[in-house]
């Protein structure tokens, strides 16, 4: 870690503290972002239960957050369609 990974991270502009656990969390997040079910991620990370997997080791990916928000907007305003206008919640506030 000290000899290879941290020097490369600093060279490319990453100045946060990086450890092996960083890779573990990233792995869990990427698995979820790729659509793997929670049970699979739990077993790959060897967690005792899925609550740990969901609460600690995964983060919502921005595109997933936007997609979830867009679904709610379409439910509330069915006539908005499925294009950029419906996907951008700022347009709802502006009345477009």
Lowest mean pLDDT among 20-24, 58-62, 71-75, 91-95: 91-95
In this structure, the answer to whether residues 25 and 44 fall within a common structural domain is yes
Q: Is the pLDDT of residue 76 over 70?
A: yes
Domain count within the chain: 2
Q: Please, which residues have CB within 8 angstroms of residue 72's CB and are 6 or more apart in sequence? A: none
Domain range enclosing 26: 1-59
Average pLDDT along the chain = 79
Residue 69's pLDDT is what?
A: 76
Same structural domain for residues 87 and 40?
no
* Residue 55 sits in the same domain as residue 65: no
Q: What is the pLDDT of residue 92?
A: 45
pTM for this structure? 0.56
Q: Kindly state whether residues 34 and 81 are assigned to the same domain.
A: no
On the question of pLDDT at 4 being above 90, the answer is yes
């Amino acid at each position: 870690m000290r000899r290879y990974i941290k020097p490369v991270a600093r060279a490319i502009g990453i100045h946060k503290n990086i450890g092996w656990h960083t890779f573990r969390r990233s792995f869990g997040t990427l698995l979820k972002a790729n659509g793997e079910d929670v049970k699979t991620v739990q077993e790959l990370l060897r967690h005792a239960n899925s609550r740990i997997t969901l609460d600690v080791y995964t983060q919502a990916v921005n595109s997933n957050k936007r997609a979830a928000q867009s679904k709610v907007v379409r439910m509330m305003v069915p006539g908005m369609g499925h294009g950029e206008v419906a996907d951008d919640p700022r347009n709802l506030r502006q009345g477009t």
